[in-house]
Structure 1
Amino acid sequence: MNRLALFATLLLTLAPLSSVSAQTAKKHKIGALTKSLANPYFLQMKQGYDYAEKKLGVDVVFGSTPKEEEDVEQLNILQSWLAEGSLEGYVVTPFRATSLNSVLTRISRKNLPIINIDELIPEETAKADDIKIVARIASNNVEAGILDAQLVLSSVPKGSDVAIIEGDPGTTSSTERVTGFTNAAKEGGLNIVASQPANWDRKKASELATNMMEGDHNLKAIFVANDDMALGVVHATQATGATGKIIVVSVDGTPNALDAL
């Protein structure tokens, strides 16, 4: 299922069933909160919400933060929505598995449906915080890391040096992707020489990659935890003359990254 259809389906599941005709039915109002639109992945997510709003005839109140890792700003948006009181359901992508939980608990106690996308709140965490999540939607991040490791293993000799650029180490998505890649790479006989976080920042990823390449002239591949950072790493390989010498693999499949292939 493509992203646009996925988010249309998600919003449909939030809309309560009604026997009232389409002409007289109430127009439902749903909050959709993501991470920063500075990341092209979440810009795509917004396009999905926009599509669903028109396709399903619902009102979607959209929220995001200007920059990555703005936990407090994201929490404030959710708090303001709850205080305003007109939303009938919430679709949330938190920065971290616990960063929105104080408000999500209050939403659940009002018996309003919550769908959790991408950065998942573990079931045990939600239960402990009295949060009722009606659906969780995310890619298999561990499997994504494994697939990238398999690609590298098919492209470089056994025993090759490889490096990892993580996202935010406090996020489930980064941790799982790195875990999947690390385990599969080690099992396949690759030598992981470095693993450092760039906190989803393209410029920082570029700087880290430059340092990694300068520190290990035998480096054969770099695994990057998302596409936006990977574009920074590609820039670093170009700037250091390593294009074609070092394989860069990542996760998400954003349009900008696909264009760079």
Structure 2
Amino acid sequence: MNRKLSRAAAVTSSLLLAAALAGCGQEGGSTAAGGGKDKKKDGRPTVCLIMKSLGNEFFQTMQKGAEEHAKKLGTLDLKTSGIQNETDIDGQVAAINRCITDQADALVLAPADSRALVAPLGRAAKAGIKLVNIDVKLDDGALKAAKLDVPFVGPDNAEGSRLSGEVLAKKLGKGGKVVILEGNPGAANAQQRKAGYERAAKDGGLTVVESKTAHWETDEAYTVLSNMLTAHPDIQGVMSSNDSMTLGAVKAIGAAGRKGKVVVASFDNIAAVKPYLKDGQVVSTVDQFAAKQAADGIDVALKAVDGGRSGAWVKTDVKVVTGADAG
């Protein structure tokens, strides 16, 4: 009798151990290379779109365009999110972690920082999530170190800012003095736009008397440019790396009594700058087609989910916009 009880206990113990191991295997599969994910009954993949600050009109346009594109396709579940401000890296890390927890199929990211977001993306890749980089290029060295191959869907930021700066150079003529308002130093597009402006200044014979970051933000740009105008009362132009900073720059120029004497070249073509394009305070901006960029990123993500591959850089369009185009 005792022998029978002993055998029964052993069988029960084995069954419990097998069940525990099976449970661990299922959990591990959900964070492996995608093989352990349960297929949805409707077969629709989930795509996360993580953007920068939704207080920026550019990303509001991107979000709207992405949602319209997803609705038109009707073949995916799209989850969009943004962050509180342009430097809220922790907010993007948290959003990536939510995508991992939700077992998303793909993640499309416009990173706030080109290096800091690579590690959390690595965790997403290990969870079997397909990755697509839009808007701001992730750092190639950081990607290589993390052994990640992430396609970039986005514009040539250096060429766009060069073209915008070229309009300003023609307006001011050789010898004109300008300053540059830079974006977030950790973002590749900030560095690229600064480089494009510097190229335009050199080619057009302009003198860059100061260059400083305002982290893409309107209020900070107002403060930074106000100080520049005080330090350099003879400047004639501002090369602003995005339209949000341009709004602060225009306000600073007005407050300093320099309206009509200092003009701005910009980047992004949000609706809020159109009045300033019309009245000549902003001589140029660059449309990088936020809605289409998001749609293209989603298409690349869906292709990856289906097992396809895209090129390392899927280049999107840029177009210079001037007062003549502002309607």
Instruction: Write the distance in 2 (CA, Å) between the matches of 1:50 and 1:259.
Output: 28
Could you tell me which residue of structure 1 aligns to residue 57 of structure 2? 40
Name the SS for the 2:83 alignment partner.
Answer: coil
| Paired residues for 1:213-228 under 5 Å | 213-228=229-244
Instruction: Write the distance in 2 (CA, Å) between the matches of 1:176 and 1:120.
Output: 10
Asked if the contact 1:163–1:193 (Cα under 8 Å) also holds between the matched residues in 2, the reply is: yes
Could you tell me which residue of structure 1 aligns to residue 68 of structure 2? 51
Instruction: Write the distance in 1 (CA, Å) between the matches of 2:60 and 2:275.
Output: 16
Deviation at 1:62, TM superposition (A): 1.1
Structure whose alpha-carbon radius of gyration is higher: 2
Structure 1 runs (4+) deviating above 6 angstroms are none
Deviation at 1:234, TM superposition (A): 0.7
Deviation at 1:53, TM superposition (A): 2.2
**Residue from 164, 167, 185 that aligns with 2:183:** 167
Deviation at 1:25, TM superposition (A): 5.5
Could you tell me which residue of structure 2 aligns to residue 203 of structure 1? 219
Task: Point out where structure 1 has 5 or more consecutive residues left out of the alignment.
Answer: 1-23
Instruction: Write the distance in 1 (CA, Å) between the matches of 2:89 and 2:209.
Output: 31
Instruction: Write the distance in 2 (CA, Å) between the matches of 1:127 and 1:56.
Output: 33
Greater shift, 194-203 or 109-118, is seen at 109-118
Could you tell me which residue of structure 2 aligns to residue 104 of structure 1? 121
Could you tell me which residue of structure 2 aligns to residue 129 of structure 1? 146
Deviation at 1:226, TM superposition (A): 0.3
Could you tell me which residue of structure 2 aligns to residue 10 of structure 1? none
Deviations 1:4-45 (A, max 9, x none): xxxxxxxxxxxxxxxxxxxx9522211110111011111111
Question: Could you say if the C-alpha distance between residues 102 and 67 of structure 1 is closer, same or farther in structure 2, counting changes exceeding 3 Å?
Answer: same
| Paired residues for 1:173-252 under 5 Å | 173-252=189-268
User: Identity rate of aligned residues, in percent?
Assistant: 28
Provide the TM-score with structure 1 as the length reference: 0.85
Alignment: residue pair count: 236
Residue 115 (structure 1) aligned with residue 132 (structure 2) = yes
Provide the TM-score with structure 2 as the length reference: 0.69
Asked if the contact 1:108–1:130 (Cα under 8 Å) also holds between the matched residues in 2, the reply is: no
Instruction: Write the distance in 1 (CA, Å) between the matches of 2:71 and 2:242.
Output: 30
Task: Point out where structure 2 has 5 or more consecutive residues left out of the alignment.
Answer: 1-40, 278-327
**Residue from 95, 99, 109 that aligns with 1:77:** 95
RMSD: 1.6
Which has the bigger relative contact order, CA under 8 A and spacing at least 6? Answer: 2
